[in-house]
Structures are given as structure tokens and as C-alpha cells.
Amino acid sequence: MEKLLLREQDIYPNNNVLQTLLGDVFNTYQELEALLISYDLILNWNYYKDGKAYLCKVTYKKKTIFWLSIWETYIKIGFYFNENTSLGIYDLDIDQSIITNFDQTKHVGKFRQLIFEIRDNSQFGDLTKIITYKMSLK
């Protein structure tokens, strides 16, 4: 099983730390970061004591778009949708496997989670469609 990284509160996830932890996936992280910035998204790393790890909250204006975490061999992105907003996922032109996985995820409280495990930039197309959809929600 893959392991969540960035568990030490006193080690902030700057580029040097991320490069060391991600290895080859760091280039993908840098491409992802540039993509997010081009959408005017803000990346905010914070240590969360309940999860005992650093997570990156990615926001547009005051709206949370998704959460990002660093794992041993990938970058994990988690979107959260309520019952009403989750229906729009089915209308997006995205890979069917994403929709199948979305169908199989359990509810987290009142929300459904859509997860990406990013190892390279091949998923960026589908990812940007979901980001654009999430940004359009009120």
C-alpha cells in the first residue's frame, strides 16, 4: 500500500522537499502547479493535525476546488461534490474510468469524492475539465 508523505509538521513542503520526495514525479508536479496558476488557482499548504500531514488546499477566489496530497509515487487530488453538483460530472467529456470510480466511491458525510492519482501529465486534460466544472459552481 502506498504511503502518505509530508507527515512532519516542522518540514514545510517547499520545492526542494517535494523534489526529494517525488523524484521523477516532481516534474509532473511542476507542470501541474503551472497549470493551476494559469487558471488563477491558489495553492496553500497547511499542516493538518487531525490527519497528521501537510495537505494543499487549492482554491479559486474563496472556493475550495480540490485538495492535493503527496504520496510515495504519485500526487493525489481529491474533489468533493454534494448530491446536486455531483450530477454534473456525468455530463463532462472525461474518461469513463473516472466516472466508474466516482460511482464506486463512498460518501464522505454529505459529499462524494472524485480522486485522481497523478503520476504524469496524461490526466491533465480530464483534470482541467473537472477543475473548470468545479470553478463554475456557485
- Note the pLDDT of residue 138: 84
Which of 128, 108, 127, 130 minimizes the C-alpha distance to 118?
127
First to last CA, the chain: 37
CATH of 15-136, one of 1.10.150, 3.40.1130, 3.90.1150, 3.40.50: 3.90.1150
> pLDDT per residue over 88-124, tens digit each?
999 999 999 999 999 999 889 999 999 999 999 999 9
- Note the pLDDT of residue 94: 98
Spatial contact of 75 and 28, defined as CB atoms under 8 Å apart: yes
- Note the pLDDT of residue 9: 97
- Note the pLDDT of residue 1: 79
Global pTM reads 0.94
Query: Where do the DSSP E strands lie in 31-109?
Result: 42-48, 53-60, 63-70, 75-81, 107-108
Query: CA 61 to CA 131: how far, in whole Å?
Result: 13
Confidence of residue 7 (pLDDT cuts 50, 70, 90): very high
User: Three-state DSSP class for 1?
Assistant: coil
Q: What is the mean pLDDT of residues 5-20?
A: 97
Cell of 59: 482554491
> Cα 137 to chain center, whole Å?
17
Whole-number Cα distances in Å, 37 to 31, 32, 61, 120 = 10, 9, 12, 18
